[in-house]
Amino acid sequence: MEVDSVTVTLDDKQQPGVESRDGMKAQVPAGQPDTKAKDAKPVPERKRSRNLSEDRRFKLFSGTANRPLAEEIGRHIGVPVGEVKLQRFADGEVYFQLLENVRGVDVFVVQPTCYPVDQNLVELLVIIDALKRASAARITVVVPYYGYARQDRKDRPRVAISAKLIADLLTTAGANRALFVDLHAAQIQGFFNIPVDHLFASPVLVSYFKELKLPNLIVVSPDAGGVERARFFAQKMQAPLAIVDKRRTDLNVAEVMNVVGDVAGKTCLIIDDIIDTAGTLVKTVDALYAAGAASVYACASHAIFSGPAIDRIANSRLEQVVVTNTVPLREAAQKLAKIKVLSVAGLLGAAIESIHMETSVSTLFN
């Protein structure tokens, strides 16, 4: 993605009292206007190379959580994934060594904190520490899926706010910037004391469903917390919105109550950020069909697919489940014809380019 960026700097003509390159101060006679300052023209600052493959101040690295995604991002931006040595001791302890010089380099590390969550998280922290000690100029963590994001507040007595804890760990390890895709709650950005770029997978998903041209479409939020996400999607699809009211009785257990909105005879598209055990999803599907829906599709940014998720989707009345590759799919999920995977590598690659070139990433929201 090519975006122009020009930084305004002063010409060789100096402002009054400002030291010039020869060490002398430029003076303006009293009572006379500083015409030189007024006539000074902005000149473009020397910028980084437009071709990242030629930019020695840029490197891309990856952990083991989703190496295929990192390699696909590398192909989009024309930069290979950096060489590292990553091994584990017999007790599972991670060993990491950079095999390339990163001194003074703008470094991006791709590592979702998906299953096994704790192992991938510690691996990311060790990678950040190694980059910091190798004198990288800036370390940006690219976390397509942010684990522990669902624990973002005290909803019960004596519970941890783990989303904040993970933010502190990443920052303390040495991350200077973070890039995420579809955080479970947008306010998690406020847990960080470093710049955060929050991308949405919806442009990729919207493009796919627009091509399908589903008849009589209505977008459905599976709970009240996802209404904002579903409303944005509905606006892009120019479709009405419905909401499923649910009551969660325990962790990973939800009881669907009723459907708010008219879905009778319509094609329903359920929008969510995460599909974990798929318990909420299949109960939402049953509620929509009970309300008279003609057919039901689903899409989500993060395909966690824990435990019985694949069996539940396979045995459900869902027409299709569309997800992205923010996390690697289990082998069983790859074999299921109902599941369609879209890539966010282009989206992440464009964001990485914009961050490195110091240009706006807001165009990616469209």
3-state SS track over 232-251: HHHHHHCCCEEEEEEEEEEC
**Phi/psi at 361 (5° precision):** -100, 0
Contact 75, 68 (CB under 8 A): no
The catalytically annotated residue of 59, 236, 246, 266 is 246
The verdict on whether 283 is a catalytic residue reads: no
- Other Cβ atoms less than 10 A from the Cβ of 119: the count is 16
Contact 220, 284 (CB under 8 A): yes
Which amino acid appears at position 22 of this protein?
D
Instruction: Outline where DSSP puts E strands in the chain.
Output: 8-9, 43-44, 58-62, 84-88, 94-98, 106-110, 138-143, 177-181, 196-199, 217-221, 241-250, 253-260, 267-275, 295-303, 320-324, 339-342
Task: Tell me the β-bridge partners of 327.
Answer: none
How far is Cα 95 from Cα 169, in angstroms, rounded to an integer? 18
The residues assigned a catalytic role are 246
